[in-house]
Amino acid sequence: MPRMKDKVTLVTGAARGIGAAIARAYVDEGATVWLTDLDEDAGRRLAQSIGPAARFQRLDVRSEAAWEAVMAAILAAHGRLDVLVNNAGITGLEAGHVAHDPEHAALEDWRAVHETNLDGVFLGCKHAIRAMRPAGAGAIVNMSSRSGMVGIPAAAAYASSKAAIRNHTKTVALYCAGQGLAIRCNSIHPAAVLTPMWEPMLGEGPERDARMAAIVADTPLRRFGAPQEVAAIAVLLGSDEAAYVTGSEITIDGGILAGAAGTPRPVEE
């Protein structure tokens, strides 16, 4: 039996990258998926390519009114929401912005990153709990990052927002349990997963190749991760197989956080 048979799910930031991979995986496992994003063209194309179990609706995760409208549409169509994946996020470096270091980051840039990454997750959790409360059960999966577990000097706003997501996930998990609700909330922490989000940081040409080689060299498994590998964990956390998992965090980083950048490598004979 498909692992997510008949589940009604919502994935934010689903037009590309990890969000798109999760949407495809959920449909493959029997779910109905509402894909949301600000990129309407890409979102609609993806929904059409996935098939009738997927539909697209524009969602600005920073807007509470937009969240209310999406949840109302889902409840009108299905009567319930079973799984929410809060995946939408930005680094703040997408449009060629300078690095967000703690000394020079502009307040407006700091706020813009937190508004999408953190406010969006807060609003998603808030309205998902309300949508799931009548059934008393559900699953919320929040996309954090390895950057939410360590300091990132050149991306201070991004790291701060992802660290806050990590903590808010645990707060939501405890709140729901305290309310007597079987609504689980867990976070996923990817690192070195090759998605379009990396493009502004990798550059082009030889510079890109050198940066990719450096990242791979510092990753114990000696490769980038794939969005599908993150999606597999999102399937687990959204399925009934994880019924006893809440307030937890799963790191998908090829072993980076298992040691340090200077972890000895095997001696070549």
In the block, which residue shows the tokens 């689903």? 14
Q: Tell me the pTM.
A: 0.93
pLDDT score for 267: 43
| Architecture of the domain defined by 8-198+227-256 | 3-Layer(aba) Sandwich (3.40)
Domains of the chain: which residue ranges?
8-198+227-256
Q: What are the tokens at 241?
A: 């197989």
Bridge-partner residues for 37, per DSSP?
A: 58
Task: Name the catalytic one among 26, 158, 175, 244.
Answer: 158
The 3-class secondary structure across the chain, one letter per residue, is CCCCCCCEEEECCCCCHHHHHHHHHHHHCCCEEEEEECCHHHHHHHHHHHCCCEEEEECCCCCHHHHHHHHHHHHHHHCCCCEEEECCCCCCCCCCCCCECCCCCCHHHHHHHHHHHHHHHHHHHHHHHHHHCCCCEEEEEEECCHHHCCCCCCEHHHHHHHHHHHHHHHHHHHHHHHCCCEEEEEEEEECCECCHHHHHHHCCHHHHHHHHHHHHHCCCCCCCECHHHHHHHHHHHHCHHHCCCCCCEEEECCCHHHCCCCCCCCCCC
244 given a catalytic annotation:
no
Q: pLDDT digit string (tens) for 76-96? A: 999 999 999 999 999 988 766
pLDDT score for 259: 83
Low-confidence ranges of the chain (pLDDT < 50): 262-264, 267-269
Q: How far apart are CA 95 and CA 181, in angstroms?
A: 41
| φ and ψ at residue 213, rounded to 5 degrees | -65, -40
